[in-house]
Amino acid sequence: MTTYRDRAEAGQVLAERLTALIGEPDVVVLGLVRGGVPVARVVAERLGAPLDVLVVRKLGMPWAREVAFGALGPGGVQVLNEAVASRLSGDDIAEVRHREQIELERRERLYRAGRPPLDLAGRIAVIVDDGLATGATARAAVEVVRQLGARRVVVAVPVGAQEAYELLAAEADQVVCAQRPTDFGAVSVYYEDFHEVSDEEVTAALTATA
């Protein structure tokens, strides 16, 4: 098992797995908010590609928020897992969606800071996170960027569970995962420094690569 000093070192290791994209036109690196952004910043710099953020909010069951029945993305994109969502009433879905839409819009305003909306039409979208546990957020992100018009979707992570990797591989065009331990555990185990990334760190990363 390899542990990373921090998300920046993880980004360096991951970036070396993505060098085939250097020089490719229309590549955009998308950091999943918030933990994926410091990793994505390093990847974007190595690839010479623009960095942006992707705000995806999971829609959790009212009585078990960790169980997702769908997700929201920018531009009004909504992804529903019908098998799970069918267990909820229309009012329940509307209430959860409203709450998460407010938080999504807050984060979009904060991180975009006047920059134009995310435009992925015809782009190669490289979705970066700091790790894959269940892969639920990353899978929602793949669907979101497809709906936003990306022509190719790559998911890139420094570490991930084998099961999550396989699920994503069936949905993304390419999944790059630097290590897939057989006995995965939690993402945090693979980092010496796995502090909670602040809004300020996200904003600083975007400003530095603008």
Question: Per-residue pLDDT for the chain (210 aa), expressed as one digit of tens each?
Answer: 789 999 999 999 999 999 999 999 899 999 998 999 999 999 999 999 999 999 998 888 888 777 778 888 888 888 887 778 888 888 999 999 999 999 999 998 888 877 887 889 999 999 999 999 888 788 889 988 998 899 999 999 999 999 989 989 999 999 999 999 988 888 999 999 999 999 999 988 888 766
Answer yes or no: do 43 and 128 share one domain. Answer: yes
Q: Cα 97 from chain centroid?
A: 19
Answer yes or no: do 40 and 77 share one domain. Answer: no
Answer yes or no: do 86 and 167 share one domain. Answer: no
Answer yes or no: do 132 and 199 share one domain. Answer: yes
Q: How many domains does the chain have?
A: 2
Residue 131: inside a domain, yes or no?
yes
Answer yes or no: do 196 and 161 share one domain. Answer: yes
DSSP 166: H
Coil/strand/helix, residue 158: coil
Alpha carbon distance 74, 63 (integer Å): 25
Q: What does pTM read for this prediction?
A: 0.89
Alpha carbon distance 21, 19 (integer Å): 5
